[in-house]
Amino acid sequence: MKQRNLYQDLSNRLGKLSNLPKMKDDGKSIASLLEEHGVSRRDFMKWAASMTALLALPASFSPLIAKAAELTDRLPVIWLHMAECTGCSESLLRTDAPTIDSLIFDYISLEYHETLMAAAGWQAEQTLEESIKKYKGRYVLMVEGGIPSGKSNFYLTVGPKGQTGESHAKEAADNALAIFAIGTCSSFGGIQAAAPNPTNAQPLYKVTKKPVINVPGCPPSEKNIVGNILQYILFGTLPALDAYNRPKWAYGKRIHDQCERRAHFDAGEFIQEFGDEGAKKGYCLYKVGCKGPYTFNNCPRVRFNQHTSWPVQVGHGCIGCSEPDFWDKMGPFEAPLSDRLYHTVFGGLGADATADKIGETILTVTALGIAAHAAISIIKKPKE
Amino acid sequence: MSKRIVVDPITRIEGHLRIEVIVDDNNIVQEAYSSSTLWRGIETILKGRDPRDAGFFTQRICGVCTYSHYRAGIIAVEDALGINPPLNAKLVRSLMNMALYLHDHPVHFYHLHGLDWVDVVSALSADPHKAADEAFKYSSNPIACGADSLVETLKRVGDFVKKGNLGPFANAYWGHKTYRFTPEQNLIALSHYLKALEMQRIAAQMMAVLGGKQPHPQSLTVGGVTCIMDLQDPSRLGEFLTKFKEMADFVNRAYYPDLVMAAKAYASEPSVNAGLGTANLITSKEFLVNGNEYLFDGGVILNGDISKVFDIDEAKITEEATHSWYADDEALHPYNGKTNPKYTGFKDEETLNGKGKMENTKVIKENEKYSWVKSPRYNGKPMQVGPLANIVINYAKGNKRVTKVVDQFLKDAGLPLKAVFSTLGRTAARMIEAKIVADNGLEAFNSLIQNLKVDDSTYTSYQIDKNKEYKGRFLGNAPRGILGHWVKIKNGVIENYQAVVPSTWNAGPKDAKGVRGPYEESLVGLKIADLSQPLEIIRVVHSFDPCIACAVHMMDTKGNELSQYKVDLSCFY
């Protein structure tokens, strides 16, 4: 019954969206666009079904998802680059064969994206100004990168007027319909915000008062980016978020609980050192530093590059890249947290000491619990 | 009267770059300034951290050449600790670097640089049947250029333009008089632009088979590689092989012919047939293909004299900050470099805006500091790095893999050897480099297969002695040119870290003697047809494939000299 109501709500909302004037008045729907690109209705529905599953909605919602995608052409998108490495933009370029995700992205009308746009200099700046004005309150803002802020905002300037990145981000956020922080830098500050944060780089939510949906990952998979656009169109509000404003559908589960090597953890079968016999057998990576137990993301299910692989599959532990401050909290990346002997941030204290002296309690207790299991399971391991 | 033109942001690059030029009454560039407007500070952040983590941090310098700094960070630490990884690991790393080149070079040409050569709007008036015939002039087996696919491309782009909202293609310089392709040639290139969007996914998958993901692969570790299960799996190796061959096919059937087409069409266009700029070149050996052989050799050429190739003397590499926003100006070797950020900002001045009118602008203080990029020098001289340097140096050394392709290309394009020393040459050399990797790279794959039959080791064990001091470095090539990382390890943690990156060499500002950096030098003498639409500037700068996040990094290497952000190292131990 409850599900029925939700379905009804979504239908109503989509109905309202349908009645909004279209941004491009060419009378074309995304369906005809898909057809032009050789994507059949059937392929599109299949894709919609897989996105439905990914969004953790019941299968009966597929038709709604498809409808939502068809409505995306009402949404202009502005993508800003702050202090970043362009890895998130690159991730977006890896959209799925048969090119359907990139198509969707094209169709939401990418107004400003410095890596892809043809215009430069004055003409680029003009595009940004005009887009913000023309689509005021109607565009989706996506921001990649941390933002040098406050007295340090001069560490990034953009455009012929030498405006700071911070002021660009603020203005674009103030006039946006919805705001997504794409990647860990924009969500949590990222690598440039790692201690001692020399440029005072801040996450997007610190420079705007408006709500920001965080889509962390270094970089996030293209599925997580596209899924979030759909999430917004469907619900018209912020999606269900966790404590770090991450959509629960993507970041609701621990890597460790979804991991293909989990059985080896439970059986106490660990790689002791890279390249050993355990590594050849695909044993658990915990003892060589896997941070899967402390990391929430859908990498084991969705993987990267059209499901080609993910770090654990190529024999390396998770480094916790979608968690806040992971650069400072998850290192060293190739040793268990409980073995940490030195660390920049907390002045070389071991994790055990950290719990007492700094109060990073929860993380550490978890670390110790997991470590205890890793140690005990070896002792308890039944003889073969 | 001279006029100043500001181009900021330079788009279709990685990172944040501003170019300013001063033109005379004939619109000829008299002086040029290259300024990066972002600073991130990654090397400072590295200090005091676990050396095993260095590669993961340095990897985030750049998400485009996403693998280059990862490998460099890992190998610099291995060099410091005296670790020799097994051959399997070395060959896997070489193959992953090839996967990067086969991704990066085509993406640069088609998606970043392409719109400087291809007029999208002009393509709309092409006759697809004529274009299909035209494609056979440059290749005996063209790809994505049959009349059927060209009709499709035409329709797709035509419908897009008809919408009146060009999205990412809006506000560009369509119809600019320096575009030289015929409508049919534009259509061919446009069809390849779309095809390349598809192909780059395959190249990225190739990296992900051995690296877990792309951008930011995660299968390298100090001591070796972790992807042993994939190496033991013939179906995974087969995936890599197939994707490699698909990319090699694209390079030979689209990228190569398109450059022949561009070389012919643009041979007499002055904005691209000159502009070599800095004629001192440097490159590293790269792409291990078996136990001891590399595809490319390293070396140095001075003043464009290809009769003499010198060996690299690493001690001659220095960086200085006379015109960079750092306090210490002196030229220092990377092991001893220092940096204290000192931002001095812009000044107000009227410049010509995008509509041809004077408008108040923030401009650089050209006599003071004006960029976050430092000025690297080799024996006190600026050096141009990148595919052009690599190809020219290897040609001069008589590297047969290189001379064969270069001679063939020049013959196909009808150009003399000296034509390589130009903006067009920089763009063509990038393709030539990709083709040499595509045609020869599988030697490394075959060596790996042979070795796996008798040896399944992928990792060398090591210990870090906390009581010892270590220092080491990496020197190799990334897609944009020679890359160096220098590391010092003390008390078991990173004491100093320094990277001298290809785009630092190329994008750096003037030095203490006022000698221009390569971007700047290549722009001087350039004639600009329409000052409000400086496409020529963008074309020249794009030919270097700027990667500014790479160029701008934290230069400090001496622990305590960062007074503003001083880190008290004593509390770490």
Q: Are residues A206 and A340 in the same domain?
A: no
Backbone angles phi, psi at B496, to 5 degrees: -135, 145
Do the domain assignments include residue A384? no
Residue B187 above 70 pLDDT? yes
Sign of the alpha-carbon dihedral angle for A34, A37, A41, A42: negative
Does the residue A340 lie in any domain? Answer: yes
Inter-chain residue contact B60 with A332, CB threshold 8 Å: no
Written as one string, the DSSP assignment of A84-109 is: S-SHHHHHHHTPPTTSHHHHHHHHT-
> The CATH number of the domain where A364 resides is what?
4.10.480.10
Q: Do B9 and A159 touch (CB under 8 A)?
A: yes
- Closest residue by Cα to residue A199 from A131, A160, A146, A162: A146
If pLDDT is split at 50, 70 and 90, which confidence band does B159 have? confident
Q: Which of A86, A116, A120 sits opposite B7 (nearest CB)?
A: A120
Q: How far apart are CA B50 and CA B222, in angstroms?
A: 11
User: Which residues of chain A are within 8 Å of residue B492 when distances are taken between CB atoms?
Assistant: 341-342
Cβ contact A317:A355 at 8 Å = no
- Residue A375 C-alpha, separation from nearest chain B C-alpha, in angstroms: 22
State whether residue B39 sits within 8 Å of chain A by CB.
yes
Q: Is B252 part of the contact surface with chain A (CB cutoff 8 Å)?
A: no
Q: Are strands A163-164 and A157-158 parallel, antiparallel or unpaired?
A: antiparallel
**β-bridge partners, B318:** B377
As a whole number of angstroms, the distance between CA B120 and CA B115 comes to 8
Same structural domain, A311 and A198? no
Q: Which of B72-76, B193-197, B566-570 has the highest mean pLDDT?
A: B72-76
- Is A77 an 8 Å CB contact of chain B? no
Q: Is the peptide bond before A21 cis (omega within 30 degrees of 0)?
A: no
Which residue is listed with tokens 């001591």?
B223
* List of residues 6+ apart from B514 with CB closer than 8 A: none
Residues on chain B touching A314 (C-beta within 8 angstroms): 210-212, 217-219, 226-227, 229-230
**Cβ atoms of residues B396 and B298 within 8 Å:** no
A140 vs chain B: nearest CA distance in angstroms? 14
Task: Find chain B residues with C-beta within 8 A of A90's C-beta.
Answer: 63-64, 66, 215
- Whether B430 is catalytic is no
Residue A129: how many other CB atoms lie within 10 Å: 13
Q: Which residue has the tokens 């690109």?
A: A37
Chain B nearest-CA distance from A5, in A, is 37
Give per-residue pLDDT as tens, B203-227.
999 999 999 999 999 999 999 999 9
A312 and A218 inside one domain: no
What's residue A30's pLDDT? 60
The span from the CA of B14 to the CA of B501, in Å, is 14
Q: Which residues of B167-189 are buried (b: 16+ CB within 10 A; e: fewer)?
A: bbbbbbbbebebbbbbbbbbbbb
Per residue in A187-243, pLDDT (tens digit) is: 999 999 999 999 999 999 999 999 999 999 999 998 888 777 767 666 766 678 888
**Pairing relation of β-strands B3-7 and B17-23?**
antiparallel
**Disruptive mutation site among B8, B47, B198 for chain A (greatest number of A CBs within 10 Å):** B8
Q: How far apart, in whole angstroms, are the C-alpha atoms of residue A216 and residue A299?
A: 12
User: Percent helix, strand, coil in chain A (nearest 5)?
Assistant: 50, 10, 40
Please give the structure tokens belonging to residue B263: 């070389």
Instruction: Inspect the interface and report whether the beta carbons of B212 and A23 lie closer than 8 Å.
Output: no
Q: What is the rounded distance in angstroms from the CA atom of residue A91 to the CA atom of residue B215?
A: 6
Q: Which residues of B touch A194 (CB under 8 A)?
A: 45, 57
Structure tokens at B42: 């990654």
Neighbouring CB atoms inside 10 A of A130's CB total 14
B565 to A113: CB separation less than 8 angstroms, yes or no? no
> Where does a domain end: A224, A251, A278?
A251
Query: A23: which chain B residues are within 8 Å (Cβ-Cβ)?
Result: 165
* The token pair that represents A135 in the structure block: 């689509």
Please identify every stretch of chain A with a pLDDT value under 50, giving residue numbers as ranges.
1, 25, 71-72, 97-105, 341-364, 382-384
Return the residue of A nearest to B372 by Cα.
Answer: A155
List the domain boundaries for chain B.
Answer: 43-162+181-338+370-523
Token readout for B385 is 């790095």
Chain B contact for A32 (CB, 8 A cutoff)? no
Joined tokens for residue B69 = 């700094």
Q: Taking a contact as any Cβ pair under 8 Å apart, which residues of chain B between 210 and 239 contact chain A?
A: 210-219, 221, 223-224, 226-230, 232
Identify whether B547 is a catalytic site residue: yes
**A245 in any annotated domain:** yes
Tell me: do A186 and A59 sit in the same domain.
Answer: yes
Burial code (b: 16+ CB inside 10 Å, e: under 16) for A78-102 equals: bbbbbbbbbbbbbbbbbbbebbbbb
Distances (CA, A) of B87 to A276, B291, B471: 16, 7, 23
What span, in angstroms and rounded, lies between the C-alpha atoms of A93 and A306? 11
Residues A176 and A314 in one domain: no
Query: Does residue B462 belong to the interface with chain A, where contact is any CB pair within 8 Å?
Result: no
What's the rounded Cα separation, in Å, for the pair B376 and B395? Answer: 25
Give the residue among B287, B428, B45 at the shortest CA–CA distance from A199. Answer: B45
Topology, domain B43-162+181-338+370-523: Cytochrome-c3 Hydrogenase; chain B (1.10.645)
Cα–Cα dist B504/B507, whole Å: 5
Indicate yes or no: CB of B12 within 8 angstroms of CB of A165.
Answer: no
Catalytic: which of B480, B485, B542, B553? B480
**CATH number of domain containing A161:** 3.40.50.700
Which member of B39, B120, B216 has the closest CB to residue A219?
Answer: B216
Q: Give the model's pLDDT for residue A323.
A: 95
Interface contact flag, A315 B227, Cβ < 8 Å: yes
For A82, the token pair is 């702050």
Give the count of alpha carbons within 13 A of B419, CB side only: 24
Cβ neighbours of B140 (radius 10 Å): 7
Measure A6 CA to nearest chain B CA, in Å. 34
Is the full-model pTM beyond 0.90? no
Whole-angstrom Cα distance, residue B444 to residue B520?
38
Number of structural domains chain A divides into: 2
**Are A28 and A83 in the same domain?**
yes
Instruction: Respond yes or no: is residue B550 known to be catalytic.
Output: yes
Question: From residue B182, how far is each of B29, B272, B355, B537 by CA, in Å?
Answer: 28, 17, 27, 22
The Cα B191–Cα B344 span in angstroms is: 46
Closest CA to B33 of B2, B13, B4, B11: B4
> Which parts of B271-345 are beta strand (E)?
281-283, 286-288, 294-296, 299-301, 317-320
If asked whether residues A174 and A317 sit together in one domain, one would say no
Q: Is B283 helix (H, G, I), strand (E, B) or coil?
A: strand
% of chain B exceeding 70 in pLDDT: 95
Q: Which of A344, A354, A358 to mutate to test the interface with B (most CBs of B within 10 A)?
A: A344
**Residue A109 phi, psi dihedral angles, 5° rounding:** 65, 90
The residue of chain B nearest to residue A218, with distances taken between CA atoms, is: B216
Please give the residue range of the domain that contains residue A201. 2-251
Q: B341 falls in which pLDDT band (50, 70, 90)?
A: confident
The per-residue pLDDT of chain B, averaged, comes to 92
Of B288, B107, B289, nearest in space to B202 by CA: B107
Query: Is B571 among the residues known to form the active site?
Result: no
**Are the Cβ atoms of B56 and A37 closer than 8 angstroms?**
no
Query: B39: which DSSP letter?
Result: -
Amino acid at A286: Y
Cβ of residue B354 closer than 8 Å to a chain A Cβ: yes
CB contact under 8 A, A91 and B215: yes
Among residues A251, A284, A312, which one ends one of the domains? A251
Residue A102 CB partners (closer than 8 Å, separation 6+): A93, A95, A96, B197
pLDDT in the model for residue A160: 92
| A195 occurs within a structural domain | yes
Residues A118 and A195 in one domain: yes
Q: Do B204 and A333 touch (CB under 8 A)?
A: no
Partners of B208 on chain A (C-beta within 8 Å) are 304-305, 308-309
Q: With respect to residue A313, please indicate whether it lies within any of the assigned structural domains.
A: yes
pLDDT reported for residue B315: 94
Angstroms from A207 CA to nearest CA on chain B:
18
Scanning every residue of chain A, which has its alpha carbon at the shortest distance from the alpha carbon of B38?
A156
Closest CB to A114 among B9, B40, B362: B9
Does residue A98 belong to the interface with chain B, where contact is any CB pair within 8 Å?
A: no
CA-CA distance, B237 to B330, in Å (whole number)?
50
> CB distance B170–A117 less than 8 Å?
yes
Q: What angle do CA B287, B291, B295 make, to 5 degrees?
A: 25
The interface predicted TM-score of the complex, written ipTM, equals: 0.92
Question: Do residue B534 and residue A121 have CB atoms under 8 angstroms apart?
Answer: yes
Among the partner-chain residues A305, A313, A343, the one whose CB lies closest to the CB of B205 is A305
In a domain, A49, yes or no: yes
Point out the catalytic residue in the list B4, B18, B43, B65.
B65
Q: What angle do CA B227, B229, B235 make, to 5 degrees?
A: 105
pLDDT of residue A50: 66
Q: How far apart are the first and last CA of chain B?
A: 63
Which of A232, A251, A270 finishes a domain?
A251
C-alpha distance from B370 to closest chain A C-alpha (Å) = 12
- The answer on A142 and A122 residing in a single domain is yes
Closest of B437, B439, B503 to residue B105, by C-alpha: B437
CB atoms within 10 A of CB A374: 17
- Cβ neighbours of residue B181 closer than 8 Å, sequence gap 6 or more: B117, B118, B119, B122, B189, B261, B262, B265
